[in-house]
Amino acid sequence: MAHKRSVLTPTLIVIVGFLTVCPVVMLVFGSFSTGLGAFGEFTLDKYVQAYADPELTGIIANTIIFVLGSSMVATALALLLAYLNTRTDIPFKFLFRIISIIPMMIPHILFSVSWVLLLNPSNGLINLMLRQIPGFEDIAINIYSLPGMILVEGLLDLPIAYLILAPALASFDIALEESSKVCGSTTLRTLFRVTLPVLRPAILAAFILSLVRSLASFAVPSVIGMPGRIYVLATHIYQSIATGFAADFGKAAAIGMSVLATSITLIYIYRYLTSASEKYVTISSRGYRPTVIELKGAKYPLFGVVGLLSAVLIVLPVLVLFYTSLVPYSMIPSAKAFSMMSWKHWIEVINDPISLLSLKNSVFLGVVGATLGVTLSIFVAYAIVKIRSHASGILESFSFLSFSFPGIVIGVGFMWFFVRTPLYATIWALLIGYIATYLPYGVRPLTSAFIQVHSHLEESSLVCGASAFTTMRRIVIPLLIPGIVSGWILMATMFVRELTLSVVLSRPGTEVLAVQIFRFSEDGLWGQLSALGIMMIFISTALVLLATFIGIKFKPLEEGG
C-alpha cells in the first residue's frame, strides 16, 4: 500500500502537470518573448512595461477590495444557505438548493447585464420602483460602483462556495455539537465555538476558491466596473491586450503571473491553516449520522428571510433575463413592452443552424468532461489530503495553475500548446482544456470531503483483507458521495456555459454553446442571448437533477442513518 501511495502522487503530478503546466509554460515563454507568439527573442520588456505602469497601485487596491469583498459575500451567503439547507428543517430545501446553484448556470456576462437593468442609476427597475415611495423620489442606487461589483461577483461565486460547504455540513458529526450542548452551551454558542471551527477547512476552501475565481473574473469588471471607471487587474489586462489591433498576450501573461503567484501563495496559506487535518475529521469509525436541527418557532420567519433574499438576489435577475428574451429590444417594462412580447428570439436561437450541433457538443462536454474530471479529482484530492507530502503540495498547486490565470489569457495559452499537438481543433482539445482549467471545481469539494473521513475507516478495511481499490470503492467513495455530486455539478454546469477557452479553441464541427453566447454578446443581441441563457439554465438544471438523483441512489449510509 505504501508503495502504491508513493507511486500515486508522482503519477498524478505527471498527469495534472501535463494538463495544467503546458499552457502556463507557453504563457511564461510568451511573456519573455518579443513579438506576439510564444517563442521569440528573450526580452524583459513586457514585465518592465507591465509593472512600471504608475496606475498599477490604484488598480491593485481596487482589486483587493473587489476580490476580498466578493469572496466574503459569496462565502457568508453560501454558509447561511448551506447550513439551513443541510442541517435544519427549513421548508422547500430543494428549491433553495437549485437557487444557490443558478448563478453557476448562466453566462456571467448575462447575469451582470441583468443586474445593470435592475440597478443602473438612470432607469434601473429597482431604482424606478423605489422612486415611487415618498421620500425616495431622487434615489439612484448605482450598480456601477465597487459595492455593486462586489455584490454581483459575490452572487456569481456563491454556487462555488455553496457546493464546497454543503457536503461538509451534510457529513457533520452531531456528537461534537451534542457534547457542547451537554456541557451547557446554547445553540448559537455551539455554532460559533464548535460547528464553524470544525468546518474551517471547508470555509477556507470556499473562500479561497472564490478569491481565485473573482481574481480571474472578467464579466463583472467589464460590464459593471468599466462604465463606473473602476478598473481591476482583469480589465487592466484586457486593456493591455485590446488597445491596438495586435493583441500582445505575452504582456497580458506578464501581468497574469502576479495573479498566479498570489493564487499559489493562497493555496499554501490554506494548506498551512488546515495542516492539522485530524482536527477536522467528522466521519470516524464510531458512527456517523448527520442530523437535522429543528428550527421550531424560527422556521417560518427564517424561511421568509432566506426566501426574500433568494428572490431579490437570484430569482429577480433570472426573471429579468426571461423578460429580456421576450421583448423585441432592451426596454423597461410597460404596457407597450408587454404588448410587443413574442417568442421571436427563442425561435431564432432554436433555428440557428449550428445550435443543434453546439447543444450536442456542450452536453457531451458537460457529462463526459465532468465525469472524467471528477474521477481525476478523486485521486488528486486523496493524494492531497491523505498523503500530505511535499509532492502533494506541488500537486495541489498544479491543480490550480490554469484556473488561477485570468480567463482571457489562459485560452491563448492552451491554443499555443494545442497547436503543437494533433488535438488542435478537435473536441478533445476542448475536453482536456476544460478539465485542466476547472480541475479545482472537482478537487476542492472532494478535498474538504476527504478531510472529514478518518483514515481508521480505510485501515479497518485493509486489515480485513480488502484491496486498496475495494477499500476505495466500498468504503471511501460512498462517504464521498456529497463531495462527488458537488464536484460533478460544478464541473458539468461550468462546461456547459464555458466561454473563455471555447472561443479560442472552437472550430467548425466543434462548436459549443459558447460560440453562440460570444456571437450574441459581441453583436449586443441581448434578447437571443437571454433566451440561450434560460435554455442553459434548463440544461444545467437537468444535469443537477441527474447528479442529485444518482447521488441519493448511491448514498445508503446517509439514508440508513
Partner 1 sequence: MKKLLAVLLVLVFVPAAYASDPDIVKNAKAEGQVAFYANMTAIQPIMDVFNAESGLDGKYTRISTSKFLPTVLTEFQAGKLMADVLQAPLPVMQMLKAKGVLAPYTSPVAADYPDWTRKDDQIQTFGIEYVGLIYNKELVKPADVPKRYQDLTDPKWKDKIVMANPATHATTIAWLIGLKENVFASEAEWMKFVEGLAANRPMLVKSFGPTPAPVESGEKAIAISMPKYIITKAPAPLDWARVEQPLLGTPRGIAVSSSAKNPNAAKLFVDFWLSKQAMSKLSAEVGEYVLAPGVFPPIDGMDKAKVIPIRTMSDEEIRKWGGTFKKLF
Site for partner 1 in 314-373 (CB under 8 A): 328-332, 340, 353-354
Per-residue CA distances from 434 to 20, 273, 442, 522 (Å) = 10, 29, 12, 23
The secondary structure of residue 314, as a DSSP letter, is I
State which residue, 26 or 489, has the beta carbon closest to partner 1.
26
Give phi and psi for 293, each to the nearest 5: -90, 130
Stretch that binds partner 1, among 149-157, 432-440, 476-484, 514-522 (CB under 8 A): 514-522
Q: Which residue has the cell 459575490?
A: 154
- d(C-alpha 215, C-alpha 233), whole Å: 8
Close Cβ partners of 513 (under 8 Å, ≥ 6 residues apart): 358, 359, 362, 496, 497, 532, 536
Query: Bridge partners of 453?
Result: 283
State which residue, 447 or 500, has the beta carbon closest to partner 1.
500
To partner 1, the closest distance from the beta carbon of 215 in angstroms equals: 19
Site for partner 1 in 194-223 (CB under 8 A): 222-223
Is residue 517 within the footprint of partner 1 (CB under 8 A)?
Answer: no
**126-165 mask for partner 1 (x: CB under 8 A)?**
------------------x---------------------
Contact 437, 400 (CB under 8 A): no
Stretch that binds partner 1, among 181-189, 199-207, 380-388, 417-425 (CB under 8 A): 417-425
Stretch that binds partner 1, among 94-102, 434-442, 506-514, 553-561 (CB under 8 A): 506-514
To partner 1, the closest distance from the beta carbon of 126 in angstroms equals: 13
State which residue, 246 or 276, has the beta carbon closest to partner 1.
246
State which residue, 59 or 81, has the beta carbon closest to partner 1.
59
H/E run at residue 115: helix 108-119
Contact 113, 556 (CB under 8 A): no
- d(C-alpha 408, C-alpha 342), whole Å: 35
To partner 1, the closest distance from the beta carbon of 415 in angstroms equals: 6
Single-letter amino acid code for the residue at 258: S
Is residue 508 within the footprint of partner 1 (CB under 8 A)?
Answer: yes
Is residue 226 within the footprint of partner 1 (CB under 8 A)?
Answer: yes
Contact 150, 210 (CB under 8 A): no
Stretch that binds partner 1, among 122-130, 158-166, 398-406, 541-549 (CB under 8 A): 122-130
Site for partner 1 in 422-441 (CB under 8 A): 424-425
To partner 1, the closest distance from the beta carbon of 264 in angstroms equals: 26
To partner 1, the closest distance from the beta carbon of 113 in angstroms equals: 8
To partner 1, the closest distance from the beta carbon of 368 in angstroms equals: 24
State which residue, 383 or 504, has the beta carbon closest to partner 1.
504
Which of 48, 129, 183, 242 touches partner 1 (CB under 8 A)?
242
Is residue 294 within the footprint of partner 1 (CB under 8 A)?
Answer: no
Is residue 238 within the footprint of partner 1 (CB under 8 A)?
Answer: yes
- How many amino acids of this chain bind partner 1 (CB under 8 A)? 57
Stretch that binds partner 1, among 173-181, 195-203, 408-416, 487-495 (CB under 8 A): 408-416
User: HSE on the CB side for 93, CA within 13 Å?
Assistant: 12
User: What are the grid coordinates assigned to 366, written together?
Assistant: 458537460
CB atoms within 10 A of CB 139: 14
State which residue, 280 or 424, has the beta carbon closest to partner 1.
424
State which residue, 329 or 554, has the beta carbon closest to partner 1.
329
Interhelix angle for 56-87 vs 146-170, to 10°?
40
Please state the separation of Cα 551 from the chain's center in Å. 20
User: What are the grid coordinates assigned to 197, written together?
Assistant: 471551527
Q: Which of 420, 294, 317, 311 is nearest to 110 (CA)?
A: 317
To partner 1, the closest distance from the beta carbon of 256 in angstroms equals: 15
Which of 212, 314, 385, 525 touches partner 1 (CB under 8 A)?
525
Which of 115, 162, 172, 249 touches partner 1 (CB under 8 A)?
249
Q: Which of 445, 453, 426, 387 is nearest to 507 (CA)?
A: 426
State which residue, 425 or 477, has the beta carbon closest to partner 1.
425
H/E run at residue 73: helix 56-87
Q: Using DSSP, state whether 328 is helix, strand or coil.
A: coil
Give phi and psi for 283, each to the nearest 5: -110, 100
State which residue, 58 or 304, has the beta carbon closest to partner 1.
58
Which of 175, 372, 468, 503 touches partner 1 (CB under 8 A)?
503
Per-residue CA distances from 147 to 67, 69, 113, 368, 504 (Å) = 11, 8, 16, 38, 32
To partner 1, the closest distance from the beta carbon of 249 in angstroms equals: 6
To partner 1, the closest distance from the beta carbon of 363 in angstroms equals: 22
Contact 74, 158 (CB under 8 A): yes
Which of 77, 82, 110, 113 touches partner 1 (CB under 8 A)?
113
Which of 15, 25, 36, 546 touches partner 1 (CB under 8 A)?
36
Close Cβ partners of 340 (under 8 Å, ≥ 6 residues apart): 327, 328, 331
Read out DSSP for 259-292? HHHHHHHHHHHHHHHT--GGGG--B-TT------
Backbone φ/ψ region at 464: left (φ over 0), alpha (ψ -120 to 50), beta: alpha
To partner 1, the closest distance from the beta carbon of 526 in angstroms equals: 6
To partner 1, the closest distance from the beta carbon of 505 in angstroms equals: 10
Q: Using DSSP, state whether 511 is helix, strand or coil.
A: coil
Question: Which residues would be at the binding site for partner 1 (CB under 8 A)?
Answer: 36-38, 113, 116-117, 120, 122-124, 144, 222-223, 226-227, 229, 238-239, 241-247, 249, 328-332, 340, 353-354, 411-412, 415-416, 419-420, 424-425, 503-504, 506-509, 515, 518-519, 521-526
